[in-house]
Amino acid sequence: MPKKNLSGDGTAAPIDAWWWLSHKGTTTSFLCISLFALLIRSAVSMFPYSGAGTPPKFGDFEAQRHWMEITTNLPATDWYRNGTQNDLTYWGLDYPPLTAYQSYIHGILLRFFNPESVSLFSSRGHESYIGKLLMRWTVLSSDALIFFPSALFFVLVYHRNRAKSQVAWHIAMILLNPCLILIDHGHFQYNCISLGLTVGAIAAVLCGSEVLTCVLFTLALSHKQMSAYFAPAFFSHLLGKCLRRKNPILSLLKLGIAVIVTFVIVWWPYLHSVDDFLMVLSRLAPFERGIYEDYVANFWCTTSILIKWKKLFTTPSLKSISLAATVLASLPSMVHQIFSPSNEGFLYGLLNSSMAFYLFSFQVHEKSILMPFLAATLLALKIPDHFNHLTYYALFSMFPLLCRDNLLLPYLTLHLLFTLIYHSQLPKTKASSFSFTSFPGYVFLLRTHFFISLVLHVVYLTIQPPQKYPFLFEALIMILCFSFFVMFAFYINYTQWNFSSRFRSADKEKKQI
């Protein structure tokens, strides 16, 4: 039984809601929260998905099903090739080979239980009950088999030398990630696989298994190219550690071999000819779509209100400009880890590099916010207040997308669930020497932002936009979220550099003593 806590006046203090989980051990906590998280995912999967009942191309659900159709009926060399049996204009496969293999495995499952759901040509737009049920189960099983074990790996490593009182809370923040649940189990995608592999690679870094890190992160990159959002952090951290070894060349060579061998195994069907390899690469970089689509809260889309980037520059020029901007935004974090690598700095580096990619890279989608949000979730105990705010605006930035998918109720419910769990046991963190809350007027600005966002929620749902500006409300949501993301990016970059300087100061004080 927990001990009865007394407040200063002798009255009984509230019992810690997480006491039971915290004292049953990390594995027990993880299993209990996992079961609840799977239940929530199952509930969300009962709602509509992207493109439900909207021919002729439907949406992401149909894209994923179509890839299962293609991979189970055609040889691997034709999966990315345009032809009479594979019309690339109809949801052509545009992710790396590991996604294709995943589609093949899931397609075999669908073909066994419901052959018509993946039959070539005739299955287009297939939306039978059993077909939809099987598709939902493939996402749920992917989450349970890849993301959940990776999260457990991270929690065991990250909390091995930390107080156990907040482990259960952190597990809940990771497994009940509202953005990931809504996109994978509502909208319908398989981000849990690439993000799970990435979390596994991060955990491997924290426990010093650098070869395993390279293998897992190469697999993540070979599943979804968006995993490249984290590449600067992995590269700079591992390079910084190797440069401090007695034989840095040998260390780098070992990691390079791990990357190359993993890459060759995954990409083997497409390495027999240069044409096949380039064919796949061309599908992974949709430059013809332009520098942005829809109303994503990044730099290019937000500033296009004033600067017509697509009219002023050609696509090749915009590719170079966005690449330069992304590299420059990632550079401070990379330099920090090359010259001063540390596990905590690496976690901040992941957040900084993914935020830089989200804000400045070419062809960013609303769903790309999953990348920086994952990194922020892993740092939730370090930046609880800013993590809470990021969660709100990350969800809000996807609000129009989720409304189009008829996922308003899951959006509101998961938002409320997250808020309740988050406030059930707020982490106690040491006061930082720098915080936006110390800036005069910042709290007022944040509250104003929040009030405007509430108004925009209501306006978007109840009022028709002017005919002249049909996407006015999407644009306002984009501007509001972008302004927060920029402030957040500045704060995280400063924090990464600031905590290392504090550590150096502490070391100097110890030496003087």
Do the Cβ atoms of 352 and 333 come closer than 8 Å? Answer: yes
With helix as H, strand as E and coil as C, how does 127-139 read? CCHHHHHHHHHHH
CA distance 328 to 307: 21
CB-based contacts of 350, cutoff 8 Å, min separation 6: 202, 230, 233, 375, 378
CA distance 291 to 318: 7
CA distance 139 to 184: 7
DSSP codes, 303-314: HTTTS-HHHHS-
CA distance 395 to 372: 12
Do the Cβ atoms of 169 and 18 come closer than 8 Å? Answer: yes
CA–CA distance from 484 to each of 35, 157, 224, 308, 396 (Å)? 34, 31, 27, 23, 11
The torsion defined by the Cα of 217, 218, 219 and 225, in degrees rounded to 10, comes to 90
DSSP codes, 348-381: HHHHHHHHHHHHHSSSB-GGGGHHHHHHHHHTTT
Which tokens go with 323?
């690449």
DSSP codes, 98-123: HHHHHHHHHHHHHHHH-GGGS-TTTT
Bridge partners, 12 (sequence order): 6
First and final CA of the chain: distance in angstroms?
A: 43
CA distance 279 to 386: 42
Do the Cβ atoms of 184 and 143 come closer than 8 Å? Answer: yes
CA distance 26 to 72: 40
DSSP state of 285: -
Which tokens go with 374?
């994952």
Residue whose token pair is 């989200």: 358
The alpha carbon dihedral of 349, 148, 118, 107 has a sign of positive
* Residue 86 phi, psi dihedral angles, 5° rounding: -145, 85
DSSP codes, 410-434: HHHHHHHHHHHHHHHS----PPPS-
Q: Find the DSSP H helices in 222-303.
A: 231-242, 248-267, 274-284, 299-303
Do the Cβ atoms of 127 and 116 come closer than 8 Å? Answer: no
pLDDT tens across the length of the chain (513 residues): 444 444 444 444 444 555 656 666 788 889 999 999 999 999 999 999 999 999 988 999 999 999 999 999 999 999 999 999 999 999 999 999 999 999 999 999 999 999 999 999 999 999 999 999 999 999 999 999 999 999 999 999 999 876 666 899 999 999 999 999 999 999 999 999 999 999 999 999 999 999 999 999 999 999 999 999 999 999 999 999 999 999 999 999 999 999 999 999 999 999 999 999 999 999 998 788 888 878 899 999 999 999 999 999 999 999 999 999 999 999 999 999 999 999 999 999 999 999 999 999 998 999 999 999 999 999 999 999 999 999 999 999 999 999 999 999 999 999 999 999 999 877 666 545 456 666 667 788 889 999 999 999 999 999 999 999 999 999 999 999 999 999 999 999 999 888 665 555 444 444 433
Which tokens go with 391?
């969660």
Which tokens go with 61?
């659900």
CA distance 229 to 231: 6
For 377, how many CA atoms within 13 A lie in the half-sphere containing its CB?
A: 28
Closest by CA to 188, choosing from 134, 245, 257, is: 134
Do the Cβ atoms of 92 and 86 come closer than 8 Å? Answer: yes
CB-based contacts of 213, cutoff 8 Å, min separation 6: 201, 204, 205, 234, 238
CA–CA distance from 127 to each of 52, 62, 87, 116, 503 (Å)? 8, 9, 20, 10, 57
- Annotate 237-256 with b (16+ C-beta within 10 A) or e (fewer): bbbbbbeeeeeeeebeeebe
> What pLDDT is stored for residue 153 in this prediction?
96
Give the three-class secondary structure for 83. strand
The torsion defined by the Cα of 69, 145, 211 and 333, in degrees rounded to 10, comes to 90
> What pLDDT is stored for residue 8 in this prediction?
47
Do the Cβ atoms of 181 and 129 come closer than 8 Å? Answer: no
CA–CA distance from 334 to each of 69, 235, 306, 321, 331 (Å)? 41, 8, 31, 19, 5
CB-based contacts of 392, cutoff 8 Å, min separation 6: 415, 450, 453
pTM, two decimal places: 0.92
* Residue 291 phi, psi dihedral angles, 5° rounding: -75, -20
